[in-house]
């Protein structure tokens, strides 16, 4: 599927040099979010935040600087999602395959993720965001696990936006883990094989209360899903935008939401044919 036209100057060119500096929160942008009719806003948007390294390389910077710039883009996009009325926002923060990156980059990502959560949790709580974690605990740094759990606990009463941080996450791993849970129930005699349905399977996903994805957006021009939310993407609309993640902001998100509002979702059905008389 093609991308909407979302090329725009990089927000980091006008952002504070310090990525932890204040930014414009929900309702503080220089223009209001687009107006959407009932049902036009996707309930669950999933982001593949791609292009940090390429953005940095094009500017002669270390790859780690791309990750730093991505923090500003993430916070601005969260604010834009709130302004538009999105209820669930999943972000692919670190995949089960990202352990293949250089040890120095992995160390930076783990340390920086811990730091970002520590600095941003209070701000996200004020915005009405509930920070949640989806992924596997084994191998993940304890500092990251603790930071994710603290953020979840600190924001658990918020209902404006569910922010699902997919950290040490893989779609195949999630499906395998769910299948393993069901297999144990069958082996223990608590479940019959014929009792396994799509609905019962979904109850064993990492966050079973989070609805399926309505819209997936991947930045930086790559057109693949990279083992992301494989079960939840079954009927999602997909948009692949050329803008690298550090250059993505709330207006890029709004452009994608407007394009989504113009699509007709059929969930495997067909458009009613015109009957000729």
pLDDT digits (tens, 9 = 90+) for 135-145: 999 999 999 99
CATH superfamily of 39-261: Decaprenyl diphosphate synthase-like (3.40.1180.10)
For range 213-218, the mean pLDDT: 98
Please tell me the distance from the alpha carbon of residue 227 to that of residue 276, in angstroms, as a whole number: 45
Taking only the tens place, the pLDDT of each residue in 64-108 is 999 999 999 999 999 999 999 999 999 999 999 999 999 999 999
For every residue of the chain, DSSP letters joined together read -PPP------GGGTS-SSTTS----TT-SSSPPPP--TT-S-SEEEEE---HHHHHHHTT--HHHHHHHHHHHHHHHHHHHHHHT--EEEEEEEETTGGGS-HHHHHHHHHHHHHHHHHHHHHHHHTTEEEEEES--TTS-HHHHHHHHHHHHHHTT--SEEEEEEEEE-HHHHHHHHHHHHHHHHHTTSS-GGG--HHHHHTTSSSTTSPPPSEEEE-TT----TT-STTTTTT-EEEE-SS-GGG--HHHHHHHHHHHHTS---TT--PPPPPP-
User: Considering 98, 152, 158, 181, which one is annotated as catalytic?
Assistant: 98
Q: Spot the catalytic one: 13, 18, 50, 177.
A: 50
Between CA 181 and CA 179 the distance in angstroms is 5
Query: Could you tell me the pTM of the whole model?
Result: 0.90
The answer to whether 98 is a known catalytic residue is yes
115 catalytic? Reply is: no
Give the model confidence (pLDDT) of 225-235 as tens digits: 999 999 999 99
């Amino acid at each position: 599927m093609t991308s909407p036209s979302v090329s725009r100057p990089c927000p980091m060119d006008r952002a504070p040099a310090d990525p932890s500096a204040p930014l414009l929160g929900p309702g503080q942008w220089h223009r209001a979010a687009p107006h959407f009719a009932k049902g036009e806003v996707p309930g669950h948007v999933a982001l593949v935040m791609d292009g940090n390294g390429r953005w940095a390389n094009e500017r002669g910077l270390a790859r780690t600087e791309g990750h730093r710039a991505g923090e500003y883009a993430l916070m601005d996009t969260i604010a834009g999602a709130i302004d538009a009325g999105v209820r669930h926002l999943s972000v692919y923060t670190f995949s089960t395959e990202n352990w293949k990156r250089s040890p120095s980059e992995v160390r930076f990502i783990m340390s920086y993720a811990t730091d970002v959560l520590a600095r941003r949790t209070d701000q996200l709580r004020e915005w009405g965001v509930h920070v949640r974690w989806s992924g596997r605990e084994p191998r993940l740094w304890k500092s990251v696990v603790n930071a994710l759990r603290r953020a979840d606990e600190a924001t658990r009463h918020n209902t404006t936006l569910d922010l699902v941080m997919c950290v040490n996450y893989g779609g195949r791993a999630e499906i395998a883990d769910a299948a393993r849970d069901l297999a144990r129930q069958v082996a223990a005699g608590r479940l019959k094989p014929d009792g396994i349905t799509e609905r019962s399977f979904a109850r064993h996903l990492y966050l079973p209360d989070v609805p399926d994805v309505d819209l997936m957006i991947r930045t930086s021009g790559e057109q693949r899903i990279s083992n992301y939310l494989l079960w939840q993407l079954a009927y999602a609309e997909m948009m692949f935008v050329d803008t690298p993640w550090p250059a993505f902001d709330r207006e890029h998100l709004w452009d994608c939401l407007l394009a989504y509002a113009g699509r007709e979702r059929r969930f495997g059905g067909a458009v009613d044919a015109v009957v000729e008389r």
